[in-house]
C-alpha cells in the first residue's frame, strides 16, 4: 500500500517528500548523483558529484568550523573584534580533529554525531525557554518592526542565508545503504527531522528578538553568546560549548556524507576509482575523506569572501536540487513499472519546481556578479568530465604512473577495492 501525502504539504515538505520517494524507489547511496545519472545522463550525474565534493561540502565544512571557532574565541574577545589569525588557527585544529574522527571509524562518527546533536538541541532549548519566559513578561518590542531599514539590494544573499539553516533533508539519501529498512526509516527520518528543525529554529530566532534588535543580531559574531550576555549570564560559558559541539558535528556529518557520494561515483567510473577504495578493516573511504579535508583547508585559508561563496554555491546547489525533482518526474515515465513504496502527488513536485525556479531567477536578476562566478564554476565540470570519463584511451605512460601511484596509496593507507554489487 502506497503512502499518499496530503497535497497541501507544499514547502518545505514538498521537496522532502520528493526525495523520500526517490530514496525508497532507488535504494543506493549517492543521493542526487544516482537520480540525476538515471534520469538524464552520466554528465549531469557527474556535475552533481563535482559540485558536491569540490565546492558545496568543503564550504559547508569550513562554515561550520569557522562558526565553532568564532564562538570559542568570542569567550575572550567579547568586547572587541575577533583576531582572525586566532580563529583560523583554532579552525585548523578543529578540522584536524573532525578529519581524524571520520578516518577512524564510521560507527564512532555516527555515535559522536548523535552526541553533538544532543548538545545542539540542549543549547537551543535553553535559549527557547528563556525567550518564552521573556515573551510572557512582555519583552516583544523588537517584533513590531523587525524589517525596519531593510532594502532589496541584497535579497539574493538574504534568500540563501534564510534557506541555509533548513537544508539537509536530502542528505540521508546519500547514505541509504547504511539503513536497515530504508522504506520505513527514510521517509520518517526526513519528515520528522524537518519538522523538528523548523520548530526549533523558529522558536530560537523568535527568542533572539526578545533580547536583541535586528541590528544587534547582524553585527554579532556569535548571536547565541550575545543573547546569553543579555538574558542568561550564568550560561555565558555553557551555551558556546553546546553550539561549538553542534558545529563540529555538522562538519563531521558533511565529511561523512560526501565521502559516500565520492565513493559511489568512483565505483561507477565517474571519478578515479581510487576514491571508491575502502580501508580493509574499518570500511571507510579513506582517500575520499582525505581529499575533502585537503579541500576544506584550501577554502579555509585561501578564500577571503565566504559570504560570496555561499551565494555562488547556494545557487548551484538549488539548481541541482531543481534538476533532481524534475528527474523524479522523468523517472516516473522512464520506469513506470518500478515499485514505489512512496508516491508523491505530481502537484507537489510541480509546486516545488515552481518555487525553485522563482528563487533561481530572482538570484540571476539581482546578483549578476555572483551568478557569473557560479556559471564559471559550473563550466569547470565539462573539461573535468572529458578528462576523467570520456577520455578512455589515455597514454600508456600516464596509466602506468597512475597505477603505480594508486598501488602506493593502497599500501600506505591499507585500502582495497570495494566489491559492491548493486
The pair phi, psi for residue 342, each rounded to 5°, is -125, 130
User: According to DSSP H, which parts of 273-305 are helical?
Assistant: 286-302
Do residues 129 and 203 lie in contact, with contact meaning Cβ atoms separated by under 8 Å? no
Cell numbers of 177, please? 545503504
Grid cell 573535468 is found at 384
User: According to DSSP H, which parts of 75-175 are helical?
Assistant: 84-104, 106-136, 155-163
Q: What's the predicted TM-score (pTM) here?
A: 0.78
DSSP symbols for 194-259: HHHHHHHHHHHHHHHTTT--HHHHHH-S-HHHHHHHHH-GGGTTTHHHHHHHHHHHHHHHHHHHHH
81 CA to centre of own chain: 29
User: Cis bond leading into 199, ω under 30°?
Assistant: no
Q: How far is 138 from 127, CA to CA, in rounded Å?
A: 17
Q: What is the pLDDT of residue 1?
A: 36
User: According to DSSP H, which parts of 303-345 are helical?
Assistant: 306-334
Q: How far is 354 from 247, CA to CA, in rounded Å?
A: 32
Domains and CATH numbers, the chain: 13-416 (1.20.1740.10)
Q: What is the pLDDT of residue 306?
A: 61
Q: How far is 329 from 333, CA to CA, in rounded Å?
A: 7
Q: What is the pLDDT of residue 275?
A: 80
DSSP symbols for 52-96: IIIIIHHHHHHHHHHHHHHHHHHTT-TTS---HHHHHHHHHHHHH
Q: Which residues of the chain have pLDDT under 70?
A: 1-13, 77-80, 82, 146-158, 160-161, 164-165, 177-178, 221, 303-310, 367-371, 373-374, 418-422
Q: Count the alpha carbons within 13 Å of 54 in the hemisphere toward its beta carbon.
A: 13
State the helix-helix crossing angle for 306-334 and 155-163, rounded to 10 degrees. Answer: 60
Widest pairwise Cα distance in the chain = 76
Q: What is the pLDDT of residue 3?
A: 36
Q: How far is 257 from 120, CA to CA, in rounded Å?
A: 20
Question: How far are the Cα atoms of 82, 304, 318 from residue 308, in angstroms, in the given order?
Answer: 20, 9, 16
Q: How far is 289 from 284, CA to CA, in rounded Å?
A: 9
Q: What is the pLDDT of residue 330?
A: 92
**Size (the chain), residues:** 422
Do residues 328 and 321 lie in contact, with contact meaning Cβ atoms separated by under 8 Å? no
Q: What is the pLDDT of residue 421?
A: 41
Q: What is the pLDDT of residue 326?
A: 93
Q: How far is 34 from 41, CA to CA, in rounded Å?
A: 10
Closest CA to 252 of 111, 53, 121: 111
Amino acid at each position: 500500500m502506497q503512502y499518499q501525502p496530503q497535497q497541501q504539504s507544499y514547502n518545505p515538505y514538498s521537496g522532502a517528500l520528493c526525495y523520500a520517494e526517490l530514496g525508497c524507489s532507488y535504494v543506493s547511496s549517492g543521493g542526487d548523483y544516482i537520480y540525476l545519472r538515471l534520469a538524464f545522463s552520466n554528465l549531469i550525474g557527474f556535475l552533481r558529484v563535482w559540485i558536491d565534493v569540490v565546492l558545496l561540502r568543503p564550504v559547508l565544512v569550513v562554515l561550520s568550523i569557522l562558526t565553532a571557532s568564532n564562538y570559542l574565541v568570542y569567550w575572550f574577545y567579547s568586547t572587541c573584534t575577533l583576531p582572525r589569525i586566532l580563529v583560523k588557527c583554532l579552525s585548523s585544529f578543529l578540522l584536524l580533529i573532525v578529519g581524524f574522527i571520520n578516518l577512524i571509524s564510521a560507527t564512532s562518527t555516527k555515535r559522536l554525531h548523535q552526541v553533538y546533536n544532543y548538545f545542539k538541541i540542549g543549547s537551543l532549548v535553553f535559549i527557547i525557554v528563556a525567550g518564552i519566559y521573556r515573551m510572557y513578561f512582555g519583552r516583544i518590542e523588537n517584533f513590531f518592526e523587525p524589517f525596519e531599514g531593510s532594502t532589496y539590494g541584497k535579497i539574493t544573499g538574504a534568500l540563501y542565508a534564510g534557506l541555509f539553516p533548513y537544508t539537509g533533508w536530502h542528505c540521508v539519501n546519500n547514505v541509504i545503504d547504511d539503513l536497515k529498512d530504508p522504506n520505513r526509516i527514510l521517509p520518517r527520518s526526513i519528515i520528522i527531522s524537518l519538522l523538528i528543525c523548523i520548530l526549533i529554529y523558529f522558536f530560537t530566532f523568535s527568542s533572539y528578538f526578545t533580547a536583541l534588535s535586528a541590528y544587534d543580531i547582524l553585527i554579532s559574531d556569535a548571536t547565541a553568546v550575545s543573547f546569553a550576555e543579555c538574558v542568561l549570564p550564568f550560561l555565558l560559558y555553557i551555551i558556546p560549548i553546546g553550539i561549538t559541539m553542534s558545529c563540529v558535528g555538522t562538519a563531521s556529518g558533511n565529511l561523512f556524507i560526501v565521502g559516500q557520494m565520492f565513493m559511489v561515483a568512483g565505483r561507477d567510473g565517474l571519478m578515479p576509482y581510487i576514491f571508491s577504495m575502502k580501508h580493509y578493516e574499518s570500511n571507510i573511504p579513506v582517500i575520499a575523506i582525505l581529499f575533502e579535508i585537503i579541500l576544506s583547508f584550501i577554502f579555509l585559508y585561501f578564500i577571503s569572501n565566504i559570504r560570496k561563496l555561499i551565494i555562488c554555491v547556494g545557487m548551484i546547489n538549488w539548481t541541482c536540487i531543481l534538476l533532481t525533482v524534475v528527474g523524479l518526474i522523468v523517472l516516473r515515465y522512464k520506469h513506470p513499472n518500478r515499485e514505489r513504496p512512496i508516491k508523491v502527488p505530481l502537484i507537489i513536485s510541480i509546486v516545488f519546481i515552481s518555487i525553485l525556479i522563482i528563487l533561481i531567477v530572482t538570484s540571476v536578476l539581482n546578483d549578476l556578479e555572483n551568478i557569473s562566478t557560479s556559471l564559471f564554476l559550473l563550466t569547470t565540470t565539462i573539461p573535468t568530465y572529458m578528462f576523467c570519463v570520456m577520455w578512455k584511451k589515455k597514454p600508456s605512460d600516464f596509466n602506468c604512473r597512475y597505477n603505480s601511484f594508486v598501488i602506493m596509496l593502497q599500501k600506505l593507507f591499507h585500502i582495497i577495492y570495494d566489491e559492491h554489487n548493486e
